[in-house]
Amino acid sequence: MSASEEKRNTYYESIIKQGYSRRDFMKFTTYMAAFMGLENSMVGQIAKSLETTPRLPVIWEHYQECTCCSESFIRSDHPIVADIILDKISLDYTLTLMAASGHQAEAAKQETMKKYKGEYILCVEGSIPLGDDGNYCCIAGKTAKQSFLEAAEGAKAIIAWGSCASNGCVQSAKPNPTEATPIHKILKNKPIIRVPGCPPIGEVMAGVIVHVVAFGRLPELDGQGRPKAFYSKRVHDSCYRRPYYDAGLFAETFDDKNSKEGYCLYKLGCKGPMTYNSCGTLKWNNGVSYPIQSGHGCLGCSENGFWDNGPFYERKTNVPGFSEGNSADTVGKVAAGVLVGGIAVHALAANISKRKEVKDRIERGIKNEQHIDS
Amino acid sequence: MANRIVVDPITRIEGHLRIEAEIKDGKIVDAFSSSTMVRGIENIVKGRDPRDVWAFVQRTCGVCTTVHALASVRTVEDALGIVIPPNAEMVRNIMEGALYMHDHSVHFYHLHALDWVDVVNALKADPKKTSEIAQSISKWPKSSTGYFTDVQNRVKKFVNTGQLGIFANGYWGHPQMKLPAEVNLLAVAHYLEALEWQKEIVKVHTIFGGKNPHPNYLVGGMACAINTQTAGGLTAERLAYVGQLLQDGKEFIEQVYIPDLLAIASFYKDWAGIGKGFGNYMSYGDFPTNGYADMAGFKFPQGVILDRDLSKVHDVDHRSSEQIEEFVNNSWYNYSDGDDKGKHPWDGETNIKYSGPKPPYDFLNVEEKYSFVKTPRWKGMPMEVGPLARLLVGYGRGNKEIQEAVNAALAHLNVPVDALFSTLGRTAARGIETQLVANWTMEFYDTLMNNIKNGDERMANMDNWEPSSWPKEAKGVGFCEAPRGALAHWIKIKDGKTENYQQVVPTTWNASPRDAKGQRSAYESTLIGTPIANPELPLEIIRTIHSFDPCLACAVHLYDEHGKHISQVQNIESCES
């Protein structure tokens, strides 16, 4: 029997075979819909999609990386993500978790590449070094580039996990000794979903996978190839400390009175205003916290070139490379011009009844901002 | 033809490592360990603000995430003479303790267990007997016949779908798989439970550091300010959350990990005689209880044991160029003044120069340089680092708590002390210390809460934060005991910038190529003598390599009986023709 004639189970069939009920299945699709921020009316569509879509094979490659992306992926907190998705996507090759080694591992990959040519998803964790003919990263005697191009050829789509595969990350920081290169600069003729972050949030990674398997198409991407569902808002826009920014209340140093009050960390170098990610909305590890909530500024780890935009603890109003073409916007404008108006508006919006306090805050805010700009 | 085996790569480890081994009469007679990936992070941090370096070097590893950040902030604090507040010390301890609990459990279930547990064989188990076994070794509540029946049915149905995903092509049915079906089923159930559980304990990092992997650290303390009175910092709710996570984690370790470890180990006692190695062990010590400067207050003592002699423990001095040196005789680097001498890390260099075969290649030329890992030595001698080294040093130092924990495990398995010097010993030591660390982490938590109760809410010492307060030149060393072993960073600061930075990591000690004298490092040394039942499926190599919990991905090649290179799997057909 040739590969294409073999019967493959749909998600629905395989879920039922695994002992889950129809009810479990519907619950799962409801979770997924909620998870992806979809209306209830979409639940039926997801369910139908999963019932009729064949299982999606996934090959997960590891190049110049630290495995934080794989670790983050297994942190995904959704119960059914842990119980089903990890199995349901048929993770046929991943150095981190697969039982088989060597010959058996490579055979599993080759089989998937052959049997599901044009149908499997290739996930890439890590950048690819081009320096010294690629000698800086070899697996099974092949360079990362050779291995990547081979696996990419039959892939339906490619996911660039994390900042390494998306942007080059730490090893591409100056002077980039190994010419670490993100994958979209090596391969141009395939759709590549870039999921930056060091690492990306586990639920974001699961969400991207779920989008692909549930809808059978790629999520809508922004100009940089990032799924809009997770990367269309700045951390700053959804930050619970934003009102302090608008009110001009800033931590001056770590562990000072203002930082204990949970004031804005902008003056301690927070890159939230220039960083597009879901940290403020989804938060980390099932919504427990995110860097700013735990008192440390955002490093901007999902932005291109963030390592070279330091020092990290220095306030930046204009960061080259951060979300090029996007509105790294106007951090300057927001910080300088709009702020005074912003303070008043936000103070009103917050319905702070104590007029004196409002007045004091506005004054302090303006003073702080002048201090910032001085 | 039967001799021809290829394993490339070994999975369930972090990074890229390759081992070439020579087999004779069914045993390994020589082995070469090679890392095949380099990023040059030490060069990237040069010239940068020392306060930023922790974030760069933290990205050395996302599995043991935190340890490089911890070593780095300690290094910079050492250079600048910064003493952190007791609360920050405890928070760092608690985060490191949570890491041990996470990392060791994940290693046991998700990286190592499939070397010992036959997943497919679990389908033959009688769930009632599994339930009886489970209840005889632990009070963990998920232990009914119905529970194990459900797990078994789930695995059965999964297997029936025909797409085995991560379990495809495993070592199922290998003659070295010796667990009864019922124990296999128990382990498979706990593999799945541990996968669920592991994402909980790391929330300790999320609370203090904002995220996991790669939580945030800070030179001078920690960024998570305490404020018990108004919303804005760590409140009683946040702290209670940490306490609950630690308690739950401790229960999982006591009631699942440790009983499973002892149950599985009891079927593999023959592995107490395999994977012995050269017998030198080193621990830097860690988990300060009275400040990082007071090494006598460390929970894990520092020291070196030579030739398995537990009666004498030597002191480690990171600052001494007589003690710690790195060599590049067999590594793909050049030293500016010649490769024949070692360098203390303060004067270390990372000049990458690949000189191996041109890819795609079948074999490395092990007669010349063959790895991106440098070769570190303590007083010219190779050292094994990791959980076993920590416990042996603690044992040798007369640490009662460590001695009791080790003796209890030995008594349970009914094996002599010598059994520790082995593959089984390494794997058991990891579990034993996880239990110890889980207990200690609760102590650190209590200390933190007591400090706060007594009115101390400091979390960072910012006195020397500004570079204007720094000396023109400074140098420092910071160390910790990462889950995989002794880890240290060295920095030289000049004019407020990082002038030089070197990391000597646990896997550098263990996985390095041999030195100029031909002395093998730990991986190469411990593989020698390992029996290989079926060269087509060299499970035994993977067991010993995994017992170190490598922070590198491995590729293993074997030679045929005549010491001649054999082919890689990808080329096996052409090689046979």
The residues in A 302-321 lying below 8 A from B, measured between CB atoms, are: 307, 310-313
Q: What 3-state class would DSSP assign to B378?
A: strand
**What's the confidence (pLDDT) of residue A54?**
59
Which of A71, A98, A254 is nearest residue B460 as measured by Cβ atoms?
A254
User: Distance from A347 to chain B by nearest Cα, in Å?
Assistant: 19
User: Distance from A297 to chain B by nearest Cα, in Å?
Assistant: 9
Nearest Cα residue in chain B from A9? B161
* pLDDT at residue B522 is higher than 60: yes
Q: Exposed/middle/buried for B139, CB within 10 Å: 0-12, 13-18, 19+?
A: exposed
Cα–Cα distance measured from residue B49 to residue B52, given in angstroms and rounded to the nearest whole number? 5
**B154:A18 CB<8 A:** yes
* pLDDT at residue B558 is higher than 50: no
Eight-class DSSP state of A148: H
Q: Which CATH superfamily is domain A235-373 in?
A: Cytochrome-c3 hydrogenase, C-terminal domain (4.10.480.10)
**Residues 6+ positions from A312 with CB-CB distance below 8 Å:** A269, A297, A299, B49, B51, B52, B55
Which of B49, B354, B556 is nearest residue A136 as measured by Cβ atoms?
B354
Instruction: Identify whether the C-beta of residue B69 lies closer than 8 Å to the C-beta of residue B217.
Output: yes
Cα–Cα distance measured from residue B356 to residue B335, given in angstroms and rounded to the nearest whole number? 17
* DSSP string of B498-561, one letter each residue: EEEEEEE-HHHHHHPPP-TT----HHHHHHTT-B-S-TTS-HHHHHHHHHT--SS-EEEEEE-T
Extents of the domains making up chain A: 56-231, 235-373
User: Distance from A362 to chain B by nearest Cα, in Å?
Assistant: 20
**A295:B5 CB<8 A:** no
C-alpha angle B78/B79/B81, rounded to 5°?
Answer: 60
Instruction: Identify whether the C-beta of residue B334 lies closer than 8 Å to the C-beta of residue B351.
Output: yes
* pLDDT at residue B453 is higher than 80: yes
Cα–Cα distance measured from residue B242 to residue B239, given in angstroms and rounded to the nearest whole number? 5
C-alpha angle A55/B122/B426, rounded to 5°?
Answer: 105
* pLDDT at residue B452 is higher than 50: yes
**What's the confidence (pLDDT) of residue B19?**
75
Q: Which of B248, B205, B202 is nearest to B224 (CA)?
A: B205
**B163:A199 CB<8 A:** no
**B9:A259 CB<8 A:** no
User: Distance from B564 to chain A by nearest Cα, in Å?
Assistant: 18
* DSSP string of A256-311, one letter each residue: SHHHHTT-B-GGGT--GGG-BSSTTTT-BTTTTB-TTTTT-----TTSTTGGGG--
User: Distance from B184 to chain A by nearest Cα, in Å?
Assistant: 15
Eight-class DSSP state of A190: S
pLDDT tens, residue by residue, A109-159: 999 999 999 999 999 999 999 999 999 998 888 899 999 999 999 999 999
Find chain A residues with C-beta within 8 A of B225's C-beta: 254-255, 259-260, 295
**What's the confidence (pLDDT) of residue B561?**
36
Residue with the bigger pLDDT between A44 and B336: it is B336
**Residues 6+ positions from B163 with CB-CB distance below 8 Å:** A8, A9, A14, A55, A57, A90, A92
User: Distance from A43 to chain B by nearest Cα, in Å?
Assistant: 25
Cα–Cα distance measured from residue B24 to residue A323, given in angstroms and rounded to the nearest whole number? 58
**What's the confidence (pLDDT) of residue A338?**
33
Fold classification of B6-114+198-576 (topology level): Cytochrome-c3 Hydrogenase; chain B (1.10.645)
Cα–Cα distance measured from residue B510 to residue B24, given in angstroms and rounded to the nearest whole number? 24
Eight-class DSSP state of B253: I
Cα–Cα distance measured from residue B430 to residue B388, given in angstroms and rounded to the nearest whole number? 7
**What's the confidence (pLDDT) of residue A18?**
61
**A133:B358 CB<8 A:** yes
Which of B8, B211, B232 is nearest residue A290 as measured by Cβ atoms?
B211
Find chain A residues with C-beta within 8 A of B150's C-beta: 19
**What single-letter amino acid sits at A96?**
T
* DSSP string of A74-106, one letter each residue: HH---HHIIIIIHHHTTEEEETTT-S--HHHHH
**B11:A101 CB<8 A:** yes
**What single-letter amino acid sits at A318?**
N
Token pair 């119980």 is found at A83
The residues in A 135-164 lying below 8 A from B, measured between CB atoms, are: 135-143, 146
**B207:A289 CB<8 A:** yes
**What's the confidence (pLDDT) of residue A98?**
81
Which of B40, B196, B556 is nearest residue A102 as measured by Cβ atoms?
B556
* pLDDT at residue B480 is higher than 80: yes
Find chain A residues with C-beta within 8 A of B168's C-beta: 92, 98-100, 104, 108
Cα–Cα distance measured from residue B75 to residue B80, given in angstroms and rounded to the nearest whole number? 9
**B161:A146 CB<8 A:** no
Nearest Cα residue in chain A from B356? A135
* pLDDT at residue B78 is higher than 70: yes
A interface test, pick of B211, B242, B244, B501 with most A CB neighbours within 10 Å: B211
**What's the confidence (pLDDT) of residue A178?**
94
**A294:B210 CB<8 A:** yes
**What's the confidence (pLDDT) of residue B157?**
81
**What's the confidence (pLDDT) of residue A104?**
78
**Beta bridge pairs of residue A195:** A161
> Dihedral sign, CA of B505, B506, B508, B509?
positive
B interface test, pick of A73, A138, A249 with most B CB neighbours within 10 Å: A138
**What's the confidence (pLDDT) of residue A240?**
96
Q: How far is CA A92 from the centre of its chain?
A: 22
Extents of the domains making up chain B: 6-114+198-576
A interface test, pick of B76, B116, B160, B163 with most A CB neighbours within 10 Å: B163
Determine what percent of chain B is predicted with pLDDT higher than 70: 94
Q: Across residues B334-357, what is the average pLDDT?
A: 93
**Residues 6+ positions from A367 with CB-CB distance below 8 Å:** A248
User: Distance from A281 to chain B by nearest Cα, in Å?
Assistant: 13
**A76:B209 CB<8 A:** no
Which of A83, A141, A286 is nearest residue B362 as measured by Cβ atoms?
A141
**B553:A139 CB<8 A:** yes
Cα–Cα distance measured from residue B296 to residue B492, given in angstroms and rounded to the nearest whole number? 27
Q: Across residues B295-309, what is the average pLDDT?
A: 97
* pLDDT at residue B566 is higher than 80: no
ipTM exceeding cut-off 0.90 for this assembly: yes
Cα–Cα distance measured from residue A201 to residue A197, given in angstroms and rounded to the nearest whole number? 7
**B357 cis-preceded (ω within 30 degrees of 0):** no
Digit-by-digit pLDDT tens for chain A (374 residues) are 333 334 555 666 766 666 666 666 666 565 555 444 444 444 555 555 455 445 789 999 999 999 999 999 999 876 344 454 456 688 888 888 888 777 778 888 999 999 999 999 999 999 999 999 999 998 888 899 999 999 999 999 999 999 999 999 999 999 999 999 999 999 988 889 999 999 999 999 988 988 887 787 889 999 999 999 999 999 999 999 999 999 999 999 999 999 999 999 999 999 999 999 999 999 999 999 999 999 999 999 999 999 998 899 998 765 555 554 444 333 333 333 333 333 333 333 333 344 555 456 555 555 554 555 44
Cα–Cα distance measured from residue A164 to residue A148, given in angstroms and rounded to the nearest whole number? 14
> Dihedral sign, CA of A9, A14, A17, A23?
negative
Instruction: Identify whether the C-beta of residue B394 lies closer than 8 Å to the C-beta of residue B310.
Output: no
**B63:A66 CB<8 A:** yes
**B169:A107 CB<8 A:** yes
Token pair 């159930």 is found at B189
**B416 cis-preceded (ω within 30 degrees of 0):** no
Q: Across residues B80-88, what is the average pLDDT?
A: 98
**What's the confidence (pLDDT) of residue A4?**
38
**What's the confidence (pLDDT) of residue A27?**
60
- B424 Ramachandran zone, left/alpha/beta (phi>0; psi -120 to 50): alpha
pLDDT-derived band of residue B240, with 50, 70 and 90 as boundaries? very high
**What's the confidence (pLDDT) of residue A155?**
95
**B213 cis-preceded (ω within 30 degrees of 0):** yes
CATH of the domain spanning A56-231, picked from 3.40.50.2300, 3.10.450.50, 3.40.50.700, 3.90.180.10 = 3.40.50.700
3-state secondary structure B476-495: EEEEEEECCEEEEEEEEEEC
Instruction: Identify whether the C-beta of residue A267 lies closer than 8 Å to the C-beta of residue A372.
Output: yes
